């Protein structure tokens, strides 16, 4: 999914940015609670930084959509005032301040006429992760960026944080102020091997116009609990990896009543898949990827970009696929590289031979592999349904002991994969879908069912116990029929 | 005159009508089965002509040769040739082809014409005056998704 064209501020009174601005001006007074907004320390120990009025720079905006379809406008904050986790030395702190970015997200409510704001702060680990505003946003973090992304509610209640290394989310973090003397009993989350505890001194840096110097205010220290994603605090996440702010609870339900302001759920920061020119140079293949990117399920896993220079941990290319032990190439392969990136290769013969749906199917299959790897690295947080806590144990029970990914796909994901491919066909290739339905009525008298689309995937599941069961089931002859004859009716057409 | 001959020779070298075609005799007749496309009738509306498939009976359940198209502009050809003329095309024999050969042929970007088992394994092949239909077909190999 590419970033849509930016709204141009000031074009018309009704343009989108102006609407956000008008809403903000009318509502910003109700977005915080004065009686608590300036209170750094609370009994609940949640971190609430001192409130300051936020002034978005209305000319600097990213416009994108969360995977669930909600529209987001991310503006830079003009303020020279910023909170940073202190590195201990003034010079280091000033460098961190200069490379940090603080933005305000306005998440358009899907049904109501309002934009729910959140403050996002990007703290790069080092100078090589310093980015201009235009090069980073909450749904566009490149594979070379390392640092911390913290989200706060508009009135500075800490919401959720992510530790990111080279574009990959290593851990979520919660932050709370330390108790008296900085001591506190060990909570269950601290006993978890995936969690680490660090103490952080927050400082507020602002430019003093009278002295014409940067001034620093030291705030009380906080304790950060960083846990591999999926650790105990991950339990607070919503479905599909969304993080919800639920007042009155501990992390990530960070506490604090919020009056009329409901912070929006946010998904995990999204990483990008770069589509190599071997695919984008071919109008048909490019068209297929565009349509695949529109699939709700696929977009919950990945965002595609064709923009040169937009690096990503995942690259999709057309090329030679790895030959298996039998010497036979495959439709596609996905590989985890030593530098932590992934490469999906689709068999270059696809260009001339495959139907458009077959091409989409193979990318889909490989994307699921990559998402499984990512889910494993992220401690199990993924939009993939019913992802097993221990994939190897799952494979031992259901699989082949050779390919746990395929076991999980065959046992659990098959209905989802089939349904999503069917939806893609129905929604984005409507003419072919209609014609196909008419022509296969002798085989699918009530209209083509999800079985056909599952059958397109079953070829990739050989070697699993599920495939063996499938082979002995009454469905197998239909599978053979569909692969033998019905798939011939799928064409190479794709129109934007 | 010499220029004309040179141009003609060049044209024949570059644009040989059969340069991009290949003939395969399906000689291991017992290994294959032939069936009509179940869509023949419905597809007659867009383009007339017989569509059928040839499938290998061995452990390659998804290895087919297809004489199949949907729209008229995708129609695959049929040629009528005597057996000596087919032999003159230096045909390959299916019994000698490995999986890798089939895989390479699949994406060779050539028209591939097949003499079917029903023709080759009949006594007519020994009647050199008989003519056979060879069918342009494509190779449909279902590969695994790794």
> What is the full DSSP assignment across A151-174?
EEETT-BEEEEEEEETTEEEEEEE
Residues B23-43 have a mean pLDDT of 90
Backbone φ, ψ for residue A286 (5° rounding): -60, -40
Instruction: Count Cβ atoms within 10 A of the Cβ of residue A239 and give its class: 0-12 exposed, 13-18 middle, 19 or more buried.
Output: exposed
Q: Which residues on A lie below 8 Å from B106 (Cβ)?
A: 349, 353
Residue B95 at interface with chain A, using a CB cutoff of 8 Å: no
Residue A462 at interface with chain B, using a CB cutoff of 8 Å: yes
Residue A362 at interface with chain B, using a CB cutoff of 8 Å: yes
Q: Give dist(CA A101, CA A89) in Å, integer.
A: 20
Question: Do the strands A168-177 and B32-36 form a parallel or antiparallel pair, or are they unpaired?
Answer: unpaired
Interface touch B42/A438, C-beta < 8 Å? yes
Q: Give dist(CA A7, CA A10) in Å, integer.
A: 9
Q: What is the pLDDT of residue A3?
A: 36
Question: Which residue of chain B comes nearest to A364, CA vs CA?
Answer: B145
Q: What is the pLDDT of residue A389?
A: 83
Question: Which residue of chain B comes nearest to A439, CA vs CA?
Answer: B42
Q: Which of residues 109-128 of B touch A (CB under 8 A)?
A: 109
Q: Which residues on A lie below 8 Å from B146 (Cβ)?
A: 321-322, 324, 330-334, 460
Residue A485 at interface with chain B, using a CB cutoff of 8 Å: yes
Residue A215 at interface with chain B, using a CB cutoff of 8 Å: no
Q: Residue A117: helix, strand or coil by DSSP?
A: strand
Residue A330 at interface with chain B, using a CB cutoff of 8 Å: yes
How many Å lie between the alpha carbon of B77 and the closest alpha carbon of chain A? Answer: 18
Q: Give dist(CA A410, CA A457) in Å, integer.
A: 9
Q: What is the pLDDT of residue B78?
A: 95
**Are residues B128 and B90 in contact, defined by beta-carbon separation less than 8 angstroms?**
no
Write the residue in A352, A362, A462 that is nearest to B107 by C-beta. Answer: A352
Residue B144 at interface with chain A, using a CB cutoff of 8 Å: yes
Interface touch B42/A334, C-beta < 8 Å? no
How many Å lie between the alpha carbon of B141 and the closest alpha carbon of chain A? Answer: 10
Q: For testing the chain A interface, which of B39, B67, B104, B146 should be mutated: the one with the most A CBs within 10 Å?
A: B146
Structure tokens at A495: 């129109």
**Could you tell me the sign of the dihedral formed by the alpha carbons of A191, A196, A199, A205, in that order?**
negative
β-bridge mates for residue A122, sequence order: A101, A149
Phi-psi region of B109 (alpha: psi -120 to 50; beta: other; left: phi over 0): left
Question: Which residue of chain B comes nearest to A331, CA vs CA?
Answer: B145
Residue A434 at interface with chain B, using a CB cutoff of 8 Å: no
Q: What is the pLDDT of residue A307?
A: 63
Q: Which residues on B lie below 8 Å from A363 (Cβ)?
A: none
Residue A477 at interface with chain B, using a CB cutoff of 8 Å: no
Q: Give dist(CA A160, CA A149) in Å, integer.
A: 8
Structure tokens at A7: 């709204």
Max mean pLDDT among A175-184, A260-269, B8-17, B34-43 falls in B34-43
* Cα distances (angstroms) measured from residue A106 to each of A116, A443, A491: 5, 50, 42
What's the average pLDDT block by block, 10 residues per block, for chain A (496 residues)? 38 68 86 50 61 83 78 84 82 86 90 87 90 85 83 82 78 64 37 59 77 76 63 34 45 34 65 80 91 83 66 80 76 83 88 91 92 80 83 79 84 94 94 92 92 94 90 93 91 88
Question: Which residue of chain B comes nearest to A325, CA vs CA?
Answer: B146
Q: Which residues on A lie below 8 Å from B53 (Cβ)?
A: 484-485
Q: For testing the chain B interface, which of A342, A418, A481, A488 should be mutated: the one with the most B CBs within 10 Å?
A: A488
* Cα distances (angstroms) measured from residue A476 to each of A22, A308, A467, B142: 60, 44, 10, 16
Give, in degrees to the nearest 5, the angle at Cα A84 between A78 and A85.
170
Q: For testing the chain B interface, which of A360, A369, A485 should be mutated: the one with the most B CBs within 10 Å?
A: A485
Model confidence at B117, pLDDT cuts 50, 70, 90, reads very high
Q: Over the range B77-93, which residues count as b (16 or more CB within 10 Å of their CB) and which as e?
A: eebebebeebeebebbe
Interface touch B62/A442, C-beta < 8 Å? no
Residue A483 at interface with chain B, using a CB cutoff of 8 Å: yes
Helix, strand, coil share (%) of chain B residues, nearest 5: 30, 30, 40
Question: Cis link prior to B122 (omega < 30° from 0)?
Answer: no
Q: Which of A160-174, A461-475, B94-108, B130-144 has the lowest mean pLDDT?
A: A160-174
Residue B95 burial (CB count, 10 A):
11
Q: What is the pLDDT of residue A359?
A: 94
Q: Give which of A410, A288, A268, A413 is closest to A350, Cα–Cα.
A: A288
Q: What is the pLDDT of residue B101?
A: 92
Residue B44 at interface with chain A, using a CB cutoff of 8 Å: no
Q: Which of residues 1-30 of B touch A (CB under 8 A)?
A: none
How many Å lie between the alpha carbon of A349 and the closest alpha carbon of chain B? Answer: 6
Question: Do the strands B131-136 and B78-82 form a parallel or antiparallel pair, or are they unpaired?
Answer: antiparallel
Q: Which residues on A lie below 8 Å from B107 (Cβ)?
A: 349, 352-353
**Where do runs of H (alpha helix) occur along A126-231?**
188-191
Phi-psi region of A78 (alpha: psi -120 to 50; beta: other; left: phi over 0): alpha
Q: Which residues on A lie below 8 Å from B56 (Cβ)?
A: none
**Are residues A49 and A156 in contact, defined by beta-carbon separation less than 8 angstroms?**
yes
Residues B131-143 have a mean pLDDT of 92
Q: How many CA atoms lie within 13 A of A270 on its CB side?
A: 26
Q: How many CA atoms lie within 13 A of A371 on its CB side?
A: 26
């Amino acid at each position: 999914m590419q970033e849509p064209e930016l709204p141009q501020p000031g074009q018309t009174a009704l343009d989108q940015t102006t609407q956000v601005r008008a809403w903000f001006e009318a509502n910003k007074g109700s977005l915080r609670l004065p009686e608590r907004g300036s209170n750094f320390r609370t009994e609940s120990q949640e971190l609430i930084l001192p409130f300051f009025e936020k002034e978005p720079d209305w000319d600097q905006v990213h416009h994108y959509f969360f995977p669930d379809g909600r529209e987001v406008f991310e503006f830079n904050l003009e303020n020279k005032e910023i909170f940073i986790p202190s590195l201990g030395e003034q010079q280091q702190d000033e460098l961190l301040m200069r490379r940090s970015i603080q933005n305000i997200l306005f998440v358009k409510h899907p049904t109501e006429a309002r934009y729910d704001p959140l403050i996002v702060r990007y703290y790069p680990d080092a100078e090589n992760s310093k980015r201009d505003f235009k090069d980073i946003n909450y749904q566009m973090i490149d594979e070379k960026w390392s640092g911390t992304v913290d989200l706060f509610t508009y009135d500075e209640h800490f919401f959720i944080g992510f530790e990111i290394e080279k574009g990959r989310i290593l851990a979520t973090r919660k932050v709370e102020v330390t108790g008296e003397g900085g001591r506190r009993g060990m909570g269950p989350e601290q006993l978890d091997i995936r969690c680490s505890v660090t103490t952080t001194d927050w400082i507020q840096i602002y430019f003093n116009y009278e002295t014409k110097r940067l001034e620093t205010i030291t705030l009380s220290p906080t304790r950060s609990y960083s846990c591999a994603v999926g650790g105990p605090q991950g339990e607070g996440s919503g479905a599909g990896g969304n993080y919800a702010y639920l007042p009155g609870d501990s992390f990530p339900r960070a506490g604090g009543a919020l009056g009329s302001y409901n912070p929006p759920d946010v998904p995990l920061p999204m990483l990008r898949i770069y589509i190599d020119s071997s695919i984008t140079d071919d109008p048909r293949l490019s068209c297929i990827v565009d349509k695949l990117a529109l699939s709700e399920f696929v977009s919950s896993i990945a965002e595609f970009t064709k923009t040169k220079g937009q690096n990503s941990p995942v690259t999709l290319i057309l090329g030679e696929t790895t030959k298996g032990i039998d010497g036979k190439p495959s439709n596609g392969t996905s590989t985890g590289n030593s530098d932590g990136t992934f490469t999906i290769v689709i068999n270059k013969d696809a260009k001339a031979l495959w139907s458009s749906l077959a091409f989409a199917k193979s990318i889909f299959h490989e994307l699921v592999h990559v998402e499984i790897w990512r889910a494993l690295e992220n401690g199990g947080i993924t939009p993939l349904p019913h992802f097993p806590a221990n994939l190897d144990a799952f494979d031992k029970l259901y699989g082949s002991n050779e390919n746990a990914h395929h076991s999980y796909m065959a046992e659990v994901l098959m209905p989802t994969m089939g349904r999503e491919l069917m939806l893609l066909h129905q929604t984005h290739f409507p003419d072919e879908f209609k014609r196909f339905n008419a022509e296969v009525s002798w085989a699918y008298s009530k209209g083509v069912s999800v079985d056909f689309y599952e059958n397109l995937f079953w070829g990739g599941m050989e070697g699993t116990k599920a495939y063996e069961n499938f082979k002995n089931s009454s469905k197998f002859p239909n599978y053979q029929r569909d692969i033998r004859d019905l798939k011939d009716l799928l064409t190479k057409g794709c129109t934007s | 005159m010499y220029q004309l001959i040179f141009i003609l020779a060049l044209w024949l070298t570059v644009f040989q009508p059969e340069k991009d075609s290949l003939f395969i005799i399906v000689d291991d007749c017992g290994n294959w089965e032939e069936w009509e496309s179940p869509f023949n009738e419905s597809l007659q509306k867009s383009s007339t002509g017989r569509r059928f498939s040839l499938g290998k009976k061995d452990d390659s359940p998804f290895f087919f040769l297809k004489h199949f198209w949907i729209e008229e502009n995708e129609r695959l050809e049929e040629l009528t040739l005597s057996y000596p003329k087919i032999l003159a095309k230096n045909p390959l024999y299916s019994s000698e082809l490995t999986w890798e050969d089939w895989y390479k042929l699949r994406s060779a970007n050539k028209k591939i014409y097949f003499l079917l088992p029903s023709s080759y394994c009949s006594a007519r092949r020994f009647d050199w005056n008989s003519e056979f239909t060879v069918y342009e077909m494509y190779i449909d190999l279902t590969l695994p998704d790794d």
